[in-house]
Structure 1
Amino acid sequence: MDPSALWLGSRPLLLASTSPTRRALLESAGLPVDTQSPDVDERALEAECGGLAPTELALALARAKAEAVAGRAPGRIVVGADQVLDCDGTVFHKPANAEAARHHLAQLAGRTHRLHSAVALIGADGVPETFVETAHLTLRPLDDAAIAAYVALAGADVLGSVGAYRLEGLGIHLFTQISGDHSTILGLPLIPLLARLRVRQLLAF
């Protein structure tokens, strides 16, 4: 069976993101994907949503991204996603530089944090459906020397993700325990998303 026959939509799924990781996850599941940047100012939206719980913030960001792209592409099936890292109620963003990355890792070392991965799915009717999945990750106790060595070795990877790590790279060395679906950790919970696409009769099985 040709993998492209899996998708029953008239046009490819439209991902409201330019994340290569999220696109790769969808394509690995056999889905044809177009991408479009949502051009959403995440930090400005977060400021407007002050006081939201981390899961609610992730949902608000995912929905804003999906709605921004759906507004420019009526009739398309659009997926927006966002991920929020929460450690005891404190939200972490991508580090701005290597110094910030070292600071983030020092705060997370020896503790368990949560990755809340939210998705907003908008169908041809323009109505968003949202959900969030959470993974729990525990970092090893790390001293300053270990953190500095990791940041130096990981290079640009520390700036591209919240928490200053990529599990699919050297970041795997930082952890003692991980609980949660791998795609949730990468920022796009595939199993619940595929279930919703199936309910909408957009998948062949």
Structure 2
Amino acid sequence: MGTVAARPPALVLASGSPRRRELLARLGLPFEVRPPAAEEAPRPGETPAQTARRLAEAKAAAVMGDWVVAADTVVEVEGRALGKPRDAEENERFLRLLSGRDHRVHTGLALVGPGGAASLVSTATVRFRQLADWEIAAYAASGEGLDKAGGYGIQEKGMVLVEAIEGDFFTVMGLPVARLWTLLDELGYPLEGVWRA
């Protein structure tokens, strides 16, 4: 009679992002959500990539759990970080800035386990097509971009804004899942039990 693998321990997702919840669920990883009360502002002298990593680490440290995963995404254009737009008007300004050009998306990823912690930054380059004024106004008015770095969501209506991606799609979505899987393995999380029925 074969032995049944124990259910892997639940991760704590230190994020309120529905995209990150969706990706963890798709992977089959057990998890619970505990959004942290952590600030999301860049510090003077930080690069956008450094900001993304530091904020991911801060979010992971802000919640309790044996296995905690956190991420933070920062959009960079011409060295300038774009966070979440405050309102539809600022969302329009972001889209005008991104229209017809490349920008970089940095997602910081932090994992804390019982035996240690690790963090990294995954970066992808995204090219927007040239957007018409009416598209910019209509997308901003939809409200979809208000809770997203850079003011757009690549997996929703915002998919039509994007002409090309160089790098990991899931980095742009907000959780570089292949990198997370590797970090879990490196820190000793029992991945072999995740996909067993």
Whether the 8 Å CA contact 2:74–2:150 is kept in 1: the answer is no
**CA deviation string 1:145-188 (max 9, x = no partner):** 33113333xx1212121222111211111122112222111111
Cα separation, 1, equivalents of 2:14 and 2:24: 12
**CA deviation string 1:41-80 (max 9, x = no partner):** 112xx2xx311111111110000000111xx33xx11111
Give the total of aligned pairs. 188
Give the letter for the 2:81 counterpart.
V
Correspondences of 1:12-161 after superposition (within 5 Å): 12-43=10-41, 46=42, 49-69=43-63, 72-73=64-65, 76-125=66-115, 127-152=116-141, 155-161=142-148
* Cross-structure match for 1:183: 170
Cα separation, 2, equivalents of 1:113 and 1:39: 28
Give the letter for the 2:122 counterpart.
E
Whether the 8 Å CA contact 2:14–2:59 is kept in 1: the answer is yes
Shift in alpha-carbon separation, 1:181–1:133, aligned structure 2, 3 A: same
Could you tell me which runs of 5 or more consecutive residues in structure 2 were left unpaired when the two chains were aligned. none
TM-score by length of 2: 0.89
Could you tell me which runs of 5 or more consecutive residues in structure 1 were left unpaired when the two chains were aligned. none
Whether the 8 Å CA contact 2:67–2:113 is kept in 1: the answer is yes
Shift in alpha-carbon separation, 1:142–1:34, aligned structure 2, 3 A: same
Cα separation, 1, equivalents of 2:92 and 2:179: 34
Over the residues paired in the alignment, what is the CA RMSD in angstroms? 1.7
Cα separation, 2, equivalents of 1:149 and 1:82: 27
Cα separation, 2, equivalents of 1:121 and 1:178: 26
Cα separation, 1, equivalents of 2:6 and 2:148: 31
* Cross-structure match for 1:169: 156
Paired-residue identity, %: 38
TM-score by length of 1: 0.85
Shift of 1:6: 8.6
1:203 is aligned to 2:191: yes
**CA deviation string 1:76-123 (max 9, x = no partner):** 111111011001100001111111111111111111001101111111
